[in-house]
Amino acid sequence: MSQFVESAKAVNIEYFAFGDFFLDDVRSYREENLTGTGISPLFPIWGIPTDKLSREMMRSGLKAVITCVDPKKLPQEFIGREYNEAFLEDLPEGVDPCGENGEFHSFVFDAPNFARPIEISLGEVVKRDGFIFVDIVERAAEQA
């Protein structure tokens, strides 16, 4: 991490923004790791209710696919699904709509601030270290 911080400072980056919502231990970890580095942490969505934010993200045009699930919290069938209203409606009781408790992870392939969508295909599904992952393959890379 120290090399990354130094390379960021070399190009006059003063802040790192994190997408954490409410896990105090994660926030503290990030703050502690940046203490004394000259980089200040920002938490722009801290405290926003995840049920509200999930729908705001979709309304704004964000498009994502589920790339990892914790099978203790979410069935394998959720892997590779698009993050949309149907996905949220199908989430089991107690699963955070943004996966803030590690239930799932996602990959954003389109958003209003993207110059163009990232064209992707889903690859192999693998089970590793207690999680289920799907490979994301950029379509341009497939054709090369």
Gap between the Cα atoms of 111 and 117, Å rounded: 7
Q: List, in order, residues 6 or more apart from 110 with CB less than 8 Å away.
A: 61, 62, 63, 117, 118
d(CA 1, CA 5): 6
Give the per-residue pLDDT at 141. 54
pLDDT at 116 over 60: yes
Averaged confidence pLDDT in the chain: 91
What would the pLDDT profile of 73-102 be if each residue is shown by its tens digit? 999 999 999 999 999 999 999 999 999 899
Task: Give me 85's structure tokens.
Answer: 């209203």
pTM of the model: 0.79
> Which amino acid is it at 10?
A
Residue 12 pLDDT > 80:
yes
Strand ranges in the chain using DSSP code E only, listed in sequence order? 15-17, 40-42, 63-69, 104-110, 120-128, 131-138
pLDDT of 123: 95
At 73, the amino acid letter reads K
d(CA 33, CA 41): 10
128 or 9, greater pLDDT: 128
DSSP 8-state code for residue 109: E
Residue 143 banded pLDDT, cuts 50, 70, 90? low
**Mean pLDDT, rounded, for 57-73:** 96
